[in-house]
């Protein structure tokens, strides 16, 4: 286990506000996608202000200061969010930029735009019930089995085995988990393929219809169009986890899906979205490929790629047209030169 301090929050996947069910993750991810920044407020029934000193249940001043020192020193510090719904465990992780104490964000603070609407109105008021705020610029879903690599710092006990009602835990994580998260955060393509694996899609009905152009990522300087991991997973399920260049290609069985491991590839690369009036991030434009064929399309000489792209074009052109995507074969081939 690493010696650096991380946080784990046990959260509700849904909360009821004025009779309406609010999906916790969906609302927080929406803020992150729109603002490229998120401040997560963790609710805790036991949050309180101890007499004579500021404290938050589970995160005392010394521990907040410790995480602050880690962040300032460039040490990756993470917040994990664990939820259970109907027996299904879901695990998300975000990289901590800063922690804010209860009541530290004032009612008129501009920081409230990074907090979901369903509770931002109470922030900085007497009605606030937040224990701690976590400022992040990432929030990704990871394999729920990885929770077994997170332990309570004070006892070394796996956090999953702790039965007390606390919702905030000071934790350490394994080196392998740390390295995985760092790789996912640093490599957008690795993150995209990883997120596709995490999507739980059992079956899909093929529906090829035009869709609006997706929005662009904000704040990272790339201006790249967003790719939806569920759409890509739909395409893989439609292909029955087969490599669409050669159905006999089987590299290995994924430990996540228990199916043949394949990756998603946009036949018309997303970098050319501006050439089209409709979204090219659609199932019709996403090919299921084994890792070898995927690398081949990205890195092989053009003379090797050309017949493969021609084959895929012939198979997909009618579906592309149904999605309002009109392209001739030579135009597609030029994208790969």
| Predicted local confidence at residue 245, as pLDDT | 96
- Cα(36)–Cα(30) distance, integer angstroms: 10
242-288 pLDDT, tens digit per residue, is 999 999 999 899 988 999 999 999 999 999 999 999 999 999 999 99
Which stretches within 15-87 are classed as H helix?
Answer: 24-35, 61-72
Q: Which whole-number Å values give the CA distances from 245 to 24, 131, 262, 311, in the listed order? A: 40, 52, 11, 8
| Predicted local confidence at residue 220, as pLDDT | 52
| Predicted local confidence at residue 48, as pLDDT | 41
- Cα(131)–Cα(7) distance, integer angstroms: 13
| Predicted local confidence at residue 222, as pLDDT | 58
| Predicted local confidence at residue 1, as pLDDT | 80
Q: Which whole-number Å values give the CA distances from 335 to 76, 212, 272, 297, 318, in the listed order? A: 38, 22, 8, 11, 19
| Predicted local confidence at residue 221, as pLDDT | 52
Go through the chain and tell me how many residues it has.
Answer: 337
SS3 312: helix
| Predicted local confidence at residue 53, as pLDDT | 42
Fold of 6-174: ph1033 like fold (3.10.590)
- Cα(287)–Cα(245) distance, integer angstroms: 9
Rounded to two decimals, what is the model's pTM? 0.80
| Predicted local confidence at residue 44, as pLDDT | 67
Q: Which whole-number Å values give the CA distances from 280 to 132, 157, 245, in the listed order? A: 40, 47, 20
The residues that bridge with 171 in the sheet, in sequence order, are 6, 152
Which stretches within 162-286 are classed as H helix?
Answer: 175-186, 188-198, 229-238
For the chain, residues with pLDDT lower than 70 are 44-58, 86, 218-222
The dihedrals phi and psi of 17, each to the nearest 5 degrees, come to -125, 115
Domain locations along the chain = 6-174, 190-335
SS3 69: helix
């Amino acid at each position: 286990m690493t010696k650096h301090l991380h946080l784990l929050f046990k959260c509700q996947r849904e909360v009821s506000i004025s009779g309406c069910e609010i999906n916790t993750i969906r609302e927080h991810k929406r803020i992150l996608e729109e603002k490229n920044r998120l401040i997560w407020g963790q609710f805790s029934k036991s949050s309180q202000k101890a007499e004579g000193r500021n404290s938050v249940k589970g995160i005392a001043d010394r521990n907040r200061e410790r995480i602050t020192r880690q962040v300032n020193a460039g040490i990756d510090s993470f917040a994990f969010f664990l939820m259970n719904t109907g027996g299904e465990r879901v695990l998300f992780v975000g990289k901590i930029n800063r922690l804010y104490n209860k009541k530290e964000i004032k009612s008129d603070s501009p920081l409230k735009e990074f907090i979901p609407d369903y509770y931002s109105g109470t922030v900085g008021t007497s009605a606030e019930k937040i224990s701690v705020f976590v400022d992040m610029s990432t929030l990704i879903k990871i394999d729920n089995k990885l929770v077994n690599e997170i332990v309570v710092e004070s006892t070394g006990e796996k956090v999953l085995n702790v039965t007390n009602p606390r919702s905030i835990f000071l934790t350490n994580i394994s080196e392998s988990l740390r390295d995985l998260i760092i790789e996912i955060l640093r490599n957008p393509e690795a993150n995209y393929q990883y997120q596709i694996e995490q999507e739980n899609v059992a079956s899909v009905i093929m529906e090829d219809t035009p869709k609006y152009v997706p929005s662009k990522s904000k704040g990272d300087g790339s201006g790249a169009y967003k790719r939806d991991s569920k759409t890509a997973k739909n395409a893989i399920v439609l292909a029955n986890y087969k490599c669409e260049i050669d159905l006999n290609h089987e590299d290995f069985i994924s430990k996540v899906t228990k199916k043949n491991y394949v990756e998603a590839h946009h036949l018309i690369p997303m970098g050319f979205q501006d050439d089209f009036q409709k979204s090219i991030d659609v199932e019709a434009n996403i090919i299921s490929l084994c890792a070898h064929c995927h690398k081949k399309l990205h890195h092989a000489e053009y003379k090797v790629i050309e017949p493969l792209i021609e084959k895929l074009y012939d198979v997909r052109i009618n579906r592309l047209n149904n999605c309002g995507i009109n392209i001739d074969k030579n135009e597609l081939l030029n994208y790969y030169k």
